[in-house]
Amino acid sequence: MALMIPLVAMFIPIVAILVKHQQRMTEIVHGSGGVENRAEVAQLRQEVYELKQMLHQQMIAMDSLMVPPAPVRREPTLEERLEQTR
């Protein structure tokens, strides 16, 4: 029992230091870093949006440059051939 009192007395400041450190880390993570992260995420979203718009514009431009496919030649039916022979 005599040894417990000094050990408990030593643990109290250690626990206080750890709690204070945990509070500071929480403030850093949820405090000022959050604002920077939100701004960066918003900037990245805007950049992705602009890239998508450019991709769509390029796809439209490529589609307009494509040559239409050649018409498929259709074989005349039996009835059409018979009419031609008359």
Average of pLDDT values for 17-42?
82
Identify the pLDDT of residue 32: 60
Of 11-15, 62-66, 67-71, 79-83, give the lowest mean pLDDT range: 67-71
- Position 34 pLDDT exceeds 70: no
DSSP letter assigned to residue 1: -
Rounded Cα distance, 1 and 28, in Å:
41
Number of domains in the chain: 1
- Please give the angle made by the CA atoms of 21, 26 and 32, to the nearest 5 degrees: 120
Q: Is residue 10 part of a domain?
A: no
Identify the pLDDT of residue 29: 79
Q: Is residue 4 part of a domain?
A: no
Q: Which of 29-33, 66-70, 73-77 has the highest mean pLDDT?
A: 73-77
CA 49 to chain centroid, in Å, comes to 11
CA 46 to chain centroid, in Å, comes to 11
- Position 48 pLDDT exceeds 90: yes
Q: Is residue 80 part of a domain?
A: no
Where in the sequence is the domain holding 51, given as residue range(s)?
A: 16-62
